[in-house]
Amino acid sequence: MVNSDRSYLTAPSATSLVAEPTEEYHHTASSQQQWAEILVDVPGVQGLYTYSLPKDLSVQLGDIVSVPFGMQVTGGIVIRLLETPPADLDRERIRDVEDVISSGFFPDDYWQLLQRVAEYYLTDLMSAIKVALPPGLLGRSQRRIRLCQNKLPPGAETFCSNVARQILQLLQQQKDGNYSINYLRSQVKGASRGIRELSKRNWIESYLESPRRIQAKLQTAVTLVIESWLEDLTPRQTEILQILRNNGGEMWKKALIKEARTTAATLNKIIALGYITFSEREILRKEQGIAQKTDIPQQLTPDQATALKEINNQTGYAQLLLHGVTGSGKTEVYLQAIATILEQGKSALVLVPEIGLTPQLTDRFRARFGEQVCVYHSKLSDGERYDTWRQTIQGEPQIIIGTRSAIFAPLPNLGLIVLDEEHDSSFKQNRPIPTYHARTVANWRAELNNCPLILGSATPSLESLVNCREVGTNGIRPIDNQTTYYLSLPERIGSRPLPPVEIVDMREELNRGNKSVFSLSLQNAITDIQARQQQAILFIPRRGHSTFVSCRSCGFVMECPHCDVSLSYHYTHEGAAKLLRCHYCNYTSLQPDTCPQCCSPYLKFFGSGTQKVTQEISKLYPDLRVIRFDSDTTRRKNAHRDLIARFISKEADILVGTQMLTKGLDIAGVTLVGVVSADGLLHRSDYRAAERAFQTLTQVAGRAGRGDEPGKVIIQTYSPEHPVIRTVKHHDYASFSTTELEQRQALSYPPYGSLILIRLSSIEESEVQKNASAIADACIDLLDESWSVLGPAPASIMKVARRYRWQILLKNTETQTSNLPDLSSLKEHCSQAVSMTIDVDPINID
């Protein structure tokens, strides 16, 4: 919502602030931009307001300025310069910007980036700004008043009004002549008037307190200085030094005292002997400790070296897809590429799917780069986020590691962007608007900053693959103009083999009378783990609601004859006819009682949760210790990290979890990975189901055998002949992607076409349905023939939190949606009770 009209309402002209009539004449004569839209950020209000720019004030885009707002003066950011003010505003009553507080606060192209986000994702600029800037950015900057001692004539107070005199006196009593406006207001009635009077005479000036440097928290670290010790130590002292050495020779003092069960006095004695030193170290607010082992650059393998060379060769914008199998050393390549960037005095931005799930990655960056690493993600408190944000704009070379929204970190001097696990769907924001994809934004940002973007993955998204490989190697673009590269790391470090994958046909298990969720093969493997005291991960690919219907005897899945997606089961009420629906086109059929393919009565819908599996293990293996890892057990802050740490320290034998477990886990003790049922992934009612299934299963399989012991993967499924299962078995990304791309092309799905999803929801079922039809009709009128309008159809989970959800899918055979007509008029077809959002490039079509 752009509130530009509200400045008219909330900032009524105070006589002293209206532009002088003489200046009014310049408005038409000069083409200069004399108005600006300013993002005003005061407690409770964040919005864009129009102000005029005094002639003698030079104002740039992105400047932080002070503006009158209602009865106060507040901070704001210049978002847009205007040649003419909005027509609906009375020029006479538009108020002036007071002063420029700070210039160059944001990188030059920052606003261009936000503008582009707003345009592409069909939202207003304000929504884009809201995802980018932390809340209360300016609210936290205190506006202050200081006395201009040298301009103050003797006996100044005799020239003043009563209020101005009181303010002057207050300031003179304070030794620096400096107070916050809020304080002055609390002390003097009508302070604003007095302040304006005094500043007109130049006796005082007002300023926004400049961003405070973060108060770094300091903590004492203990460092081992001598590696081999002499006879002068007591056994106890030797023991303490050994603990320190085992921890990489460096620990927080607190941690060492705790782990060695010793005291500060004892450590002081060892210091006196010259074996260790203390030093005060800065700890970032989110830091969990010093990295356990100091990490030095590895000697690169030839593949890694080739990739790094290509990255380092880039002098401007480029997109480099780093396709490396799990454990092939991608992270090492990022680390070394970033080291080069830092040496050049530039900064790097590293995006990861979920910080909480990748503590190991963050630790490795800290081990290599120490305090230059900053973490930014949505679980930080507002204060932490604000501090990090402020630190990023200091301009010193640094690394920001963050989730999706960190793509907006206003790092000046950006030299490199890395998206790790670039295929991951959490880079896409589903709600609220703008529904941006961090990879898309990262690409724009790299273009605007003229720096390279590395996309790393073991299972690249088909978008990135098509973008970087096919274009790059086909020579479609002239070689000297090349901006996309495909870099490959086909082998694990140390030539460790990828684990063998065994596929278990669960239909056979049923035939053999095994009704347990574990096949005999998986049961045997677990027994094996127990005997060898190794560890296992059991994985349950599960979505919120598993609604597809399949046959437990033959694996047949009910599909839509038109859309090539599985049909969803819709529960309406007890005793109602069981309906199956396609939520793309609304094709509907009754659920048959028996399987249309084999006539088995075991035709049912799917779903088996972590809880059930955990119970089953406890029943079959009472001695095994299990940790459950799902959205229920990981709700607490740091819970991810704690549970994984407990598993790594062998407090449990089996980790049972959902999707969350797929990401970046590197645990040497894990030799068995079991997928309890792959089917929940295979038959999602979504055109991306196969891609996501392949990615998830490959990533999960990649958790096995990362240590010295070889690993093994068992995947249970009712559809062993499914192409995804066949390709996962052979770790065959190439053949998977070739087949999948052919299908996408045939149906014009991305990356060969583009989609826009219109989501509608309401408490009123008939209302949302009615609106949906009207909007679909309006779309047909608005869009040209390159678009097809699919639906309206109910969402696969039709009712969520008392709201009925319908959707319309717009599909284009072209990949560019740039010539899209204005869809904002669609809102006219929406009644009050119905909410509508537009998702450009949706990736969750349910």
Question: Residue 376 or residue 718: which is nearer to Zn ion going by CB?
Answer: 718
Beta carbon of residue 747, minimum distance to ligand ADP (angstroms, whole number): 33
Beta carbon of residue 453, minimum distance to ligand ADP (angstroms, whole number): 17
Task: State the Cα–Cα distance between residues 319 and 304, nearest whole angstrom.
Answer: 17
Beta carbon of residue 555, minimum distance to Zn ion (angstroms, whole number): 7
Q: What DSSP string runs through 740-801?
A: HHHHHHHHT-TTSSEEEEEEEEES-HHHHHHHHHHHHHHHHHHS-TTEEEEEEEEEEEEEET
Task: State the Cα–Cα distance between residues 379 and 784, nearest whole angstrom.
Answer: 43
Beta carbon of residue 698, minimum distance to ligand ADP (angstroms, whole number): 12
Question: Residue 584 or residue 804: which is nearer to Zn ion going by CB?
Answer: 584
Region binding Zn ion by CB under 5 A among candidate stretches 101-109, 587-595, 672-680, 736-744: 587-595
Cβ neighbours for 78, distance < 8 A, ≥ 6 positions apart: 36, 37, 38, 59, 60, 61, 62, 63, 64, 65, 97
Question: Residue 329 or residue 705: which is nearer to ligand ADP going by CB?
Answer: 329
Choose among ligand ADP, Zn ion, none what residue 789 binds, the Cβ cut-off being 5 to 8 Å by kind. Answer: none
Choose among ligand ADP, Zn ion, none what residue 7 binds, the Cβ cut-off being 5 to 8 Å by kind. Answer: none
Choose among Zn ion, ligand ADP, none what residue 17 binds, the Cβ cut-off being 5 to 8 Å by kind. Answer: none
The answer to whether residue 466 forms part of the interface with Zn ion (CB under 5 A) is: no
Task: State the Cα–Cα distance between residues 276 and 299, nearest whole angstrom.
Answer: 30
Question: Residue 138 or residue 563: which is nearer to Zn ion going by CB?
Answer: 563
Give the angle subtended at the CA of 354 by the CAs of 749 and 369, to the nearest 5°: 120
Choose among Zn ion, ligand ADP, none what residue 304 binds, the Cβ cut-off being 5 to 8 Å by kind. Answer: ligand ADP
Q: Considering only residues 582, 652, 661, 775, which one is a binding residue for Zn ion as defined by CB under 5 A?
A: 582
Pairing of strands 603-605, 549-551: antiparallel
Q: Hey, CA dihedral for 682, 688, 694, 699, is it positive or negative?
A: negative
The answer to whether residue 687 forms part of the interface with Zn ion (CB under 5 A) is: no
Choose among Zn ion, ligand ADP, none what residue 332 binds, the Cβ cut-off being 5 to 8 Å by kind. Answer: ligand ADP
Question: Residue 23 or residue 295: which is nearer to ligand ADP going by CB?
Answer: 295
Choose among Zn ion, ligand ADP, none what residue 740 binds, the Cβ cut-off being 5 to 8 Å by kind. Answer: none
Region binding Zn ion by CB under 5 A among candidate stretches 118-126, 271-279, 580-588, 622-630: 580-588
Per DSSP, what are the bridge partners of residue 281?
219
Choose among ligand ADP, Zn ion, none what residue 562 binds, the Cβ cut-off being 5 to 8 Å by kind. Answer: Zn ion
Choose among Zn ion, ligand ADP, none what residue 133 binds, the Cβ cut-off being 5 to 8 Å by kind. Answer: none
Q: Does 374 belong to an annotated binding site? A: no
Residue where the block lists tokens 């440097």: 213
Q: How many CB atoms lie within 10 A of CB 614?
A: 20
| Residues 363 and 291 sit within 8 Å (Cβ to Cβ) | yes
The answer to whether residue 554 forms part of the interface with Zn ion (CB under 5 A) is: yes
Q: Does 451 belong to an annotated binding site? A: no
Choose among ligand ADP, Zn ion, none what residue 330 binds, the Cβ cut-off being 5 to 8 Å by kind. Answer: ligand ADP
Q: Three-state SS string across 618-678, please?
A: HHHCCCCCEEEECCCCCCCCCHHHHHHHHHHCCCCCEEEECHHHHCCCCCCCEEEEEECCC
Beta carbon of residue 756, minimum distance to Zn ion (angstroms, whole number): 17
Residue where the block lists tokens 């940790």: 627
Question: Residue 328 or residue 484: which is nearer to ligand ADP going by CB?
Answer: 328
Choose among ligand ADP, Zn ion, none what residue 587 binds, the Cβ cut-off being 5 to 8 Å by kind. Answer: Zn ion
The answer to whether residue 317 forms part of the interface with Zn ion (CB under 5 A) is: no
Restricting to residues 589-618, which ones interact with Zn ion according to CB under 5 A? 595, 597-598, 600
Beta carbon of residue 37, minimum distance to ligand ADP (angstroms, whole number): 44
Alpha-carbon separation of residue 51 from 31, 84, 96, 104 (angstroms): 17, 11, 6, 20
Question: Residue 366 or residue 542: which is nearer to ligand ADP going by CB?
Answer: 366
CA 758 to chain centroid, in Å, comes to 23
| Residues 767 and 804 sit within 8 Å (Cβ to Cβ) | no
Task: State the Cα–Cα distance between residues 4 and 143, nearest whole angstrom.
Answer: 24
Binding site for ligand ADP (CB under 6 A): 298-301, 304, 324, 326-332, 493, 666
Task: State the Cα–Cα distance between residues 49 and 38, nearest whole angstrom.
Answer: 5
Helices 125-132 and 110-120: crossing angle in degrees, nearest 10, is: 120
Q: Considering only residues 290, 355, 549, 551, which one is a binding residue for Zn ion as defined by CB under 5 A?
A: 551
Beta carbon of residue 551, minimum distance to ligand ADP (angstroms, whole number): 38
Choose among ligand ADP, Zn ion, none what residue 327 binds, the Cβ cut-off being 5 to 8 Å by kind. Answer: ligand ADP
Q: Considering only residues 587, 783, 803, 835, which one is a binding residue for Zn ion as defined by CB under 5 A?
A: 587
The answer to whether residue 584 forms part of the interface with Zn ion (CB under 5 A) is: yes
Q: What would the two tokens of residue 620 be?
A: 């079959």
Choose among Zn ion, ligand ADP, none what residue 326 binds, the Cβ cut-off being 5 to 8 Å by kind. Answer: ligand ADP
Choose among ligand ADP, Zn ion, none what residue 595 binds, the Cβ cut-off being 5 to 8 Å by kind. Answer: Zn ion
Main-chain dihedrals φ then ψ at residue 621, nearest 5 degrees? -130, 75
Choose among Zn ion, ligand ADP, none what residue 101 binds, the Cβ cut-off being 5 to 8 Å by kind. Answer: none
Q: What DSSP string runs through 376-399?
A: E-TTS-HHHHHHHHHHHTT-SS-E
Beta carbon of residue 62, minimum distance to Zn ion (angstroms, whole number): 47
Question: Residue 15 or residue 495: which is nearer to ligand ADP going by CB?
Answer: 495
Question: Residue 352 or residue 411: which is nearer to ligand ADP going by CB?
Answer: 352
Beta carbon of residue 416, minimum distance to ligand ADP (angstroms, whole number): 16
| Residues 491 and 328 sit within 8 Å (Cβ to Cβ) | yes
Chain residue whose CB lies nearest Zn ion: 595
CB neighbour burial string for 378-402, b if at least 16 within 10 angstroms, e if fewer: eebeeebbbbbbbbbeeeebbbbbb
The answer to whether residue 556 forms part of the interface with Zn ion (CB under 5 A) is: yes
**Which has the closest alpha carbon to 460: 361, 325, 367, 327?**
325
Q: Which amino acid is at 70?
A: G
Q: Which amino acid is at 670?
A: V
Q: Does 595 belong to an annotated binding site? A: yes
Beta carbon of residue 353, minimum distance to ligand ADP (angstroms, whole number): 13
Beta carbon of residue 584, minimum distance to Zn ion (angstroms, whole number): 5
Site residue total, Zn ion (CB under 5 A): 15
Q: Does 563 belong to an annotated binding site? A: yes
The answer to whether residue 638 forms part of the interface with Zn ion (CB under 5 A) is: no
What residue spans of 234-321 are helical by DSSP H? Answer: 235-246, 253-259, 264-272, 302-313
Beta carbon of residue 360, minimum distance to ligand ADP (angstroms, whole number): 8
Beta carbon of residue 322, minimum distance to ligand ADP (angstroms, whole number): 9
Question: Residue 339 or residue 585: which is nearer to Zn ion going by CB?
Answer: 585
Region binding Zn ion by CB under 5 A among candidate stretches 7-15, 215-223, 427-435, 552-560: 552-560
Q: What SS3 class is residue 79?
A: strand
Q: What would the two tokens of residue 526 be?
A: 């677990």
Q: How many CA atoms lie within 13 A of 189 on its CB side?
A: 1
Q: In what helix (H) or strand (E) does residue 738 lie, and over which residues does it extend?
A: helix 733-747
The separation between the first and the last C-alpha atoms of the chain, rounded to the nearest angstrom, is 27
Give the angle subtended at the CA of 422 by the CAs of 418 and 428, to the nearest 5°: 110
Residue where the block lists tokens 């010790």: 229
Q: Does 468 belong to an annotated binding site? A: no
Q: How many CB atoms lie within 10 A of CB 830?
A: 18
Beta carbon of residue 300, minimum distance to ligand ADP (angstroms, whole number): 5
Instruction: Write out the residues near Zn ion by the rule CB under 5 A.
Output: 551, 553-554, 556, 560, 562-563, 582, 584-585, 587, 595, 597-598, 600
List the binding residues.
551, 554, 560, 563, 582, 585, 595, 598
List the binding residues for Zn(2+).
551, 554, 560, 563, 582, 585, 595, 598
